[in-house]
Amino acid sequence: MTTRPTTAAEFLALDYRVSISETGGRFHLHVPQLGLIVDDADLATAWANLSAAKRDYFKRHAAIGRLDAIPLPAGDAPRALALAVAPFAAKVGIAALAVVCLLLAGIAGFDHVVRSLPGRLLHQFTEVSTSAKVMSRQISPERLDQAKSELRTMVEMIKPFADELRPLFADPACGPAQPRQTSR
């Protein structure tokens, strides 16, 4: 990758487009990108004057530390744009890669949760069901009613999650799953 010139001498070595016209016996030399115009009756003298004007132009910019304000020759404009945009493009690429990695990690984590959730719920239900059977034989009717009430409360708390997950486990042949209506 080529770099932008950093000295007046490097700028002087660049090839800027020069337009030459002749009017009334005088030669006019113009560098549109730099805004330089010289004229003389002799073409060689006009060319030497243009070279001196370019040298002064570049030296004045170097003296005030503004070589970055000098436009590059027209053929180098895409290269200059690429040089200016390269750091930004690199940062955007790195940021995009980081976002993709985060998304993939999030998807993997979500997939793990979705795959393990039914097993966890089944385990909890089995555990509660088993302990309810054991407890029904050993506890008083009042305590059994309290346990049933607590179980109803737990079911009401879990129900919104189950309703959200039901479409994921629906049989495609039977159509979309509909939330069940429960009666108390």
For the chain, domain boundaries: 8-71, 81-171
Question: Residue 104's pLDDT band (boundaries 50, 70, 90)?
Answer: confident
Q: Is the pLDDT of residue 19 over 70?
A: yes
**Residue 137's pLDDT band (cuts 50, 70, 90):** low
Exposed, middle or buried: residue 47 (CB in 10 Å: 0-12, 13-18, 19+)?
A: middle
* pLDDT tens profile 41-81: 999 999 999 999 999 999 999 999 999 899 888 765 566 66
pTM above 0.75, yes or no: no
Mean pLDDT of 135-162: 80
The per-residue pLDDT for 172 is: 62
**CATH top-level class of 8-71:** alpha beta
Cα(36)–Cα(54) distance, integer angstroms: 8
Q: Is residue 1 scored above 60 in pLDDT?
A: no
Task: Indicate the burial class of 144 (C-beta count within 10 angstroms; 0-12, 13-18, 19 or more).
Answer: middle
Model confidence over 86-102: pLDDT tens digits?
888 888 889 889 899 88
CB 45 within 8 A of CB 3: no
d(CA 61, CA 70): 8
Percentage of the chain modeled with pLDDT above 90: 32
Alpha-carbon span 122 to 158, nearest angstrom: 13
Mean pLDDT of 133-157: 78
Q: Give the model's pLDDT for residue 141.
A: 80
Which of the four pLDDT bands, split at 50, 70 and 90, describes residue 38?
very high
